[in-house]
């Protein structure tokens, strides 16, 4: 099945439909300024993964931060390795994508269907899902 539509915005406050972005194998991960070490390590982990799997697209979804704080954080930390989006309505994300913690990683197949919605990119076995 496909991910349900949720409200997502880009750095220019433009609404983005997730299904429009899912044209290749994709990893969606989440971060927030409040869990700063996770925000930094997840983006660093993506640097490693991108080098190994250049055909995979990475989407980072920010939760719990204002548009202003989020864009400031992206600039300050130089987060450039993923498509950066923000979920302004965490309740909607929680309900529709069953996201209740920042450490979740969702793997999407090339055709836009969900491969696995309950992964962690820090799991020792994570890369076997990417083969």
Q: Which residues contact 34 (CB under 8 A, 6 or more apart)?
A: 64, 65
Q: Where are the alpha helices (DSSP H) in the chain?
A: 18-21, 36-52, 67-77, 90-97
The pTM of the whole model exceeds 0.85: yes
Q: What is the model's pLDDT at position 96? A: 94
pLDDT tens digits, residue range 17-70?
A: 999 999 999 999 999 999 999 999 999 999 999 999 999 999 999 999 999 999
Report whether 117 contacts 98 (CB < 8 A).
Answer: yes
The answer to whether residue 99 scores a pLDDT higher than 90 is: no
Asked if the model's pLDDT at residue 1 lies above 90, the reply is no
- 102 has a pLDDT exceeding 90: no
What per-residue confidence (pLDDT) applies to 57?
98
Measured between alpha carbons, how far is 64 from 30 in angstroms, rounded to an integer?
10
The answer to whether the CB of 79 falls within 8 A of the CB of 60 is: yes
Helix axes 67-77, 36-52, angle to 10 degrees: 60
Do the Cβ atoms of 119 and 106 come closer than 8 Å? yes
Determine what percent of the chain is predicted with pLDDT higher than 90.
93
pLDDT surpassing 90 at residue 128:
yes
Which tens digit of pLDDT belongs to each residue from 111-125? 999 999 999 999 999
- Which of 33, 95, 38, 22 has the alpha carbon at shortest distance from 62? 33
């Amino acid at each position: 099945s496909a991910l349900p539509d949720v409200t997502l915005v880009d750095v220019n406050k433009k609404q983005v439909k997730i299904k429009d972005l899912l044209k290749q194998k994709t990893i969606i991960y989440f971060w927030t300024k409040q869990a700063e070490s996770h925000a930094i390590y997840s983006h660093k982990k993506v640097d490693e993964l991108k080098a190994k799997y250049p055909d995979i697209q990475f989407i980072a979804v920010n939760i719990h931060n204002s548009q202003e704080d989020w864009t400031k954080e992206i600039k300050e930390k130089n987060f450039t390795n993923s498509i950066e989006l923000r979920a302004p309505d965490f309740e909607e994300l929680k309900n529709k994508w069953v996201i209740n913690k920042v450490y979740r990683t969702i793997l999407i197949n090339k055709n836009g269907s969900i491969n696995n919605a309950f992964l962690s990119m820090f799991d020792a076995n994570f890369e076997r899902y990417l083969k």
